Structure 1
């Protein structure tokens, strides 16, 4: 998988992972698209709205850890299918909710599925791509998240919020989520790396079946390893010296960065609507933010391949800080709001691409989904806290103090860049070297 060119099945699987990440992006942002309508219908203030907007992000934190661990124990494919079912149920009942408490509960449940999905799909991309194609594949995968926001934004502002109301946004998400279940079931094989690392009963036969599905040659025997099928758990990634430092720096760096990232993603439509624009026009600001995120993430993949992960990610995060500060100055025209939102996500999502590349690189196969899930789970503290903190800041300082709120929320990405500065340059390389050595042993066997 590392050393041979990527075949058509690998390309199809990566494309499906991009679509699943796009689905996650839409499902997360659906509450932001619906927020102005919910506030208008139920008379919800911004502090209470912030709690609702954070609900799926809290759920994502729990889902990343709990269901991310399931992906390492029971397989990436089965975990993705379970997550899709949970997400579809949560979206369906969110559209049928009648109180802010009820919709908050269903958004939390939706977040559980999204969090587990992110951990599993990130592992699948890392394990089904060749070494030469992994950076670009990971960049494409990460930009799927804002791409889902773009597609969902055009659907929301041009159709769902025009012809129907905010409930249609959640219903649309439920239908599309359910439609992905048969695609994953039929087109995504379990990864060979899962069988090689976990060693379930009949591991050789299952691994060879997976290799054949991906168009690769079968092997005659599994290599002998001292500790067969180590059980991945959080204590592994925190107790081993090579993993502990990189785990904590990535977890807290990502947590601080998402504090700024989700401020824009969750409050942009509400802020623009508060400036006097209609709900569909306000939703369009988030659409353009996600266009910027998709473009920034795509271009960042090439920068990362040329200059590595650490330096470009720090630079993108700091440029994102400047863009959020400009957004916070406030604007007179809708197009200026859209351009400001575009640049915030162009740089902030580029940094997200860097983090995800570091996740895929920083953990060995047997604990990749667990490690990624743990880091995402800690990171979701920032994501979940972002709309709550912003909502209370607006209530405390007043809706007119947009610049002050934006500058405070900017501090997250500044701290995230600082965490990356202390990230070792060589430990990720050492871990990847160990895994590639194991892959060569497997191939030789």
Structure 2
């Protein structure tokens, strides 16, 4: 009997598979808004509470720390209990955290609520990456994962435009989090309707009624049901985490973590500090949100570009090239812009390269881990790598407090994605051909 995972990898994608990819892309768009909501709100928070740049840098990093913890812990839960229940649980966490953030009365409370929100965002990243990789065929897998990752800047564009309008209309930074909570909770029925558990997970873990669940998905995708489950996969000794450091996969885990760490440090310095930098130049908070939206317009275009080019060229080389372009753009962003138009242009260019690299990097990660380790492996890489994401805004805040100007800070933080690109060029891995 043929393994259903091989059938999915070989045959054209059914429209239900496309709907699953589209839903995962929308979930990543939600992540994009949730992560950057604090950036849109930060000028109002700093003004209302009178906090320093250093303190603001720590607040901006709280959900990034939570994302790291959540990606690691909940990513492993997704490999143990399923991708679908993990996504639903993450939505509850994210929606609750956003609602609580709107009620925060001081920096400590807000930091705690953003940390909690980050737990859900991190777990969501790990689970959605696994779902998209496992529901796509081999030919379109890189494209599907990159498109899913491209949802992040789209969410920031749409959500950022709404956030800017809310800030202009209400003058309350809390309105950004209130909108985020409502939008997040609305996704729960959508996931229940459109996102089934992946066949790859069901074949490997074999929970109760596994064959029934697999056949339900196969029939809905226009494929013949199975008469019996295929032979069990060869079991590898040790826990999921231990297997990620087993011989043959240890170097992949460590190198991917280094690459992700460096790139995230640069990327999140860029997207987290844009609004505050623009306001400090004398522009209004609504205009600062507009510049961040332009960064994500560039990010959406970069993600789309990498997605399409990955069908013809090695995604590894595409990501490395985007990282080098992103490092150069961040350096120029630090010195050239003096007007709102120039800030918007360089934010767009920087977003194009940094977000394009991020989208392609998720495809690389999905290629490197087998199905039974995919969510856990992705979660570990994201979890450890998010330390870089958290460090970027913190380091920038400290350097600004010590009197550094924007130019030297941008050059310093651009080194992260530059070094990540160099490491990626030396990195070799074998791309998987089935889910």
Residue pair 1:198, 1:229 contacting (<8 A) in 2 also: no
How far apart, in 1, do the equivalents of 2:254 and 2:318 lie? 20
Residue 207 of structure 1: CA displacement? 1.9
Residue 228 of structure 1: CA displacement? 5.2
When the two chains are superposed, the root-mean-square deviation of aligned CA atoms in Å is 1.5
Matching of residues 161-180 of structure 1 within 5 Å: 161-180=168-187
Correspondent of 1:104 among 105, 108, 111: 111
TM-score (norm 2): 0.95
Q: What residue number does 1:297 align with?
A: 303
Provide Cα deviations, 1:298-346, integer angstroms capped at 9, x if missing partner: 0111222211122111111011011001110142221110011001110
Residue pair 2:79, 2:375 contacting (<8 A) in 1 also: yes
Provide Cα deviations, 1:272-306, integer angstroms capped at 9, x if missing partner: 11000000001111100000000011011122221
Correspondent of 2:389 among 383, 393, 403: 383
Q: What residue number does 2:430 align with?
A: 428
Residue pair 1:3, 1:130 contacting (<8 A) in 2 also: yes
How far apart, in 2, do the equivalents of 1:12 and 1:110 lie? 26
Task: Determine if the alignment matches structure 1 residue 227 to structure 2 residue 216.
Answer: no
Matching of residues 259-298 of structure 1 within 5 Å: 259-298=265-304
Residue pair 2:167, 2:286 contacting (<8 A) in 1 also: no
Residue 232 of structure 1: CA displacement? 5.6
How far apart, in 1, do the equivalents of 2:12 and 2:239 lie? 29
Provide Cα deviations, 1:361-389, integer angstroms capped at 9, x if missing partner: 00111111001000111110100111111
Correspondent of 2:17 among 6, 10, 23: 10
Correspondent of 1:408 among 412, 418, 435: 412
Residue pair 1:69, 1:232 contacting (<8 A) in 2 also: no
TM-score (norm 1): 0.93
How far apart, in 2, do the equivalents of 1:233 and 1:419 lie? 26
Q: What residue number does 2:30 align with?
A: 23
Residue pair 2:163, 2:176 contacting (<8 A) in 1 also: yes
Residue 163 of structure 1: CA displacement? 2.9
Matching of residues 280-359 of structure 1 within 5 Å: 280-359=286-365
How far apart, in 1, do the equivalents of 2:235 and 2:203 lie? 9
Q: Secondary structure at the match of 1:87?
A: helix
Task: Determine if the alignment matches structure 1 residue 258 to structure 2 residue 264.
Answer: yes
Residue 258 of structure 1: CA displacement? 0.5
Residue pair 1:76, 1:191 contacting (<8 A) in 2 also: yes
How far apart, in 1, do the equivalents of 2:73 and 2:168 lie? 35
How far apart, in 2, do the equivalents of 1:145 and 1:347 lie? 14
How far apart, in 1, do the equivalents of 2:252 and 2:305 lie? 25
